[in-house]
Amino acid sequence: MSTGSQTLSQADPKRWKALALLGFANFMVMMDSAIIQVALPSIKETLDYSQENLQWVMTAFLIFFGGLLLLGGRLSDLFGHRRIFMWGFSILTLASLLAGLAWDDKVLNIARAVQGAGSALIAPAALSIVMILFAANPKELSKALALWGLSGAAGGSIGIVLGGVLTEFLSWRWALLIYVPIGIIILLLSPSLLQKGKRMSGRIDYSGAISVTTALVLLVYGVANAEHSGWGSSSTVWSLSVGALLFIIFIIIQVMKKEPLVPLRIFKTRNLSIGNVSLVLLSIAWVPMIYFLVLYLQQVLKFAPFSAAMALLPAPILMAVFVVAVAGKAMEKFGLKITMVIGFLILGSSGLLFSLNTSVNGNYWTSVLLALLLAALGNALAYLPATTAAVSNAKPEESGLASGLYNTTYQIGSALGLAIMVAIAGATTASSNAGDPIVALNEGFQQAFLWSGIAAFIGVVLSLLFVRSQKQESTH
């Protein structure tokens, strides 16, 4: 019997059931940010968050998810994918219980951070299991990866609706507590559907993971703290200084370690580097845009949570459609570089439209819908070439690292971008001369939309200057 047929005969008979479980796990992880967004104003009222500190409900999750993703991938490779997958879901389930029962803002922030850490173990382990399960058959692997991608996209869109339904008809707490019974079911099914996997030998760069995650927490805290304490305050200066120092230490660790978390040689590939930078800019533009749109709909236009969820629903649905139906064809026709430039241009324009049209007397049809559709299209057109650039020229043995890296940079960009835009919005609101607090709040939102758009326009410039065509990249 040939090696190929031998491999096929050894394919796991439970692989499609396993894929259903893993796809559902991916759906839950991707839903974690979306399901909580519509609940933010309700959380603010219940737990007495300030307008500026409300971002930590999102940011705490994003920092620990992004900061620990590469460590999660490494742990998964060394200790067995199923083991780390189940550890991740155990952590996520317990953290979700604590988050749902949170009695003050600090408890919720800590629980959200732990949720992020659990998700950082789940995501790379689950994808690795999918790759191994279907490695024997390229056609099956393509189908499995398509279903995997669909599960993530569905998590974003269904999460928004489910978050709105739960918040309006039950409580925002159920947007978090829902993970508890589902997590238990996934943990019960995993041993029978997922193979145990092999343990490998190797070292783990704990010092790199701790230094980069702590650096991110301090940098984001410093930016957020500057809003109410001032940029010159000792707490702000110390947070930013120590955060920057820890990030430099992280780089030094990566240079000196034999098995670093991020081998810096991978950045020698030009498109990979600029692809990751583009993803940072894309997340800085997109994530705050949606964050402030949720607040605008509920705090200014006075939408109920479910109505706000339905108002946002076109964005994730159309983004998924645009990635599949438009972005791929655009890349075939115009190439990676031009498609990315067009995407950033459209996304930047949507930020400008939001900043101009979101008034206290606005309405959904004239103030929101057109800009939202443009944002979804621009995000899709920029995202696909940026991720393609970030992974397509990596060496085969570094493909897993490249994939983990672009997910990491996107989450980190989201956390830093959100902190920056919240600081801009807060400063604008605080310095407003408007007598009406809602008008002052809205002026802050408009500035956040404007600077989100500017981040996208910076992406246009960088794409034009530094992105190479696939042909140019392959000759270097």
DSSP string, 334-381: HHHHHHHHHHHHHHHHHHHHHHHH--TT--IIIIIHHHHHHHHHHHHH
pLDDT band at 4 (very low <50, low <70, confident <90, very high): very low
pLDDT band at 181 (very low <50, low <70, confident <90, very high): very high
Quick check: 409 and 280 in contact, CB under 8 A?
A: yes
Quick one: 189 exposed, middle or buried, by C-beta within 10 A (0-12, 13-18, 19+)?
Answer: middle
Question: Does 213 share its domain with 303?
Answer: no
Q: Pull the structure tokens for residue 135.
A: 């490695």
Please state, in angstroms and rounded to a whole number, the distance separating the CA atoms of residues 225 and 163.
29
Question: Does 17 share its domain with 102?
Answer: yes
Boundary residue ending a domain (175, 194, 213)? 194
Residue with tokens 């705090």: 299
Tell me if 6 is assigned to some domain: no
Tell me if 364 is assigned to some domain: yes
pLDDT for 305-364, tens place per residue? 888 888 888 887 887 778 777 877 887 788 888 888 999 999 999 999 999 988 888 888
At residue 267, the pLDDT reads: 75
At residue 239, the pLDDT reads: 86
Question: Does 387 share its domain with 440?
Answer: yes
Please state, in angstroms and rounded to a whole number, the distance separating the CA atoms of residues 122 and 183.
11
pTM: 0.82
Tell me if 200 is assigned to some domain: no
Quick check: 449 and 354 in contact, CB under 8 A?
A: yes
Question: Does 296 share its domain with 409?
Answer: yes
Is 90 exceeded by the pLDDT of residue 123? no
Question: Does 338 share its domain with 381?
Answer: yes
- The per-residue pLDDT of the chain, averaged, comes to 82
Of residues 440 and 6, more confidently modeled: 440
Quick check: 340 and 311 in contact, CB under 8 A?
A: no
pLDDT band at 90 (very low <50, low <70, confident <90, very high): very high
Short-list 134, 148, 116, 173, CA closest to 25? 148
Q: Got the DSSP string for 155-213?
A: HHHHHHHHHHHHHHHT-TTHHHHTHHHHHHHHHHHHHHHS-----------HHHHHHHH
Length of the chain: 476
Residue with tokens 């004239």: 366
Domain membership of residue 64 as a residue range: 13-194
SS3 state of residue 137: coil
Boundary residue ending a domain (242, 258, 274)? 258
Quick check: 418 and 383 in contact, CB under 8 A?
A: no
Q: Pull the structure tokens for residue 306.
A: 């479910």
pLDDT for 210-264, tens place per residue? 888 888 888 888 887 776 777 788 888 898 899 899 989 988 988 888 878 777 7
Of residues 84 and 202, more confidently modeled: 84
At residue 66, the pLDDT reads: 82
Region 165-187: what's the mean pLDDT? 90
At residue 446, the pLDDT reads: 92
Is 90 exceeded by the pLDDT of residue 458? yes
pLDDT for 97-109, tens place per residue? 999 999 988 999 9
At residue 351, the pLDDT reads: 94
Question: Does 230 share its domain with 181?
Answer: no
Tell me if 163 is assigned to some domain: yes
Q: Count of domains in the chain?
A: 3
Question: Does 280 share its domain with 250?
Answer: no
At residue 2, the pLDDT reads: 40
Quick check: 86 and 37 in contact, CB under 8 A?
A: no
At residue 474, the pLDDT reads: 46
Quick one: 303 exposed, middle or buried, by C-beta within 10 A (0-12, 13-18, 19+)?
Answer: buried
Q: Pull the structure tokens for residue 160.
A: 């928004």
Of residues 288 and 471, more confidently modeled: 288
Question: Does 399 share its domain with 464?
Answer: yes
Boundary residue ending a domain (194, 219, 234)? 194
Q: For residue 125, give the CATH number of its domain.
A: 1.20.1250.20
Tell me if 380 is assigned to some domain: yes
Alpha-carbon torsion (294, 215, 96, 179), positive or negative: positive
Question: Does 289 share its domain with 182?
Answer: no
Of residues 113 and 8, more confidently modeled: 113
pLDDT for 113-122, tens place per residue? 999 899 888 8
Question: Does 289 share its domain with 382?
Answer: yes
Tell me if 122 is assigned to some domain: yes
pLDDT for 40-76, tens place per residue? 888 988 988 887 788 888 888 888 888 888 788 778 8
Tell me if 7 is assigned to some domain: no
Question: Does 167 share its domain with 108?
Answer: yes
pLDDT band at 372 (very low <50, low <70, confident <90, very high): very high
Tell me if 236 is assigned to some domain: yes
Question: Does 359 share its domain with 386?
Answer: yes
Highest mean pLDDT: which of 149-158, 178-187, 213-222, 458-467? Answer: 178-187
At residue 472, the pLDDT reads: 47
At residue 448, the pLDDT reads: 92
At residue 248, the pLDDT reads: 92
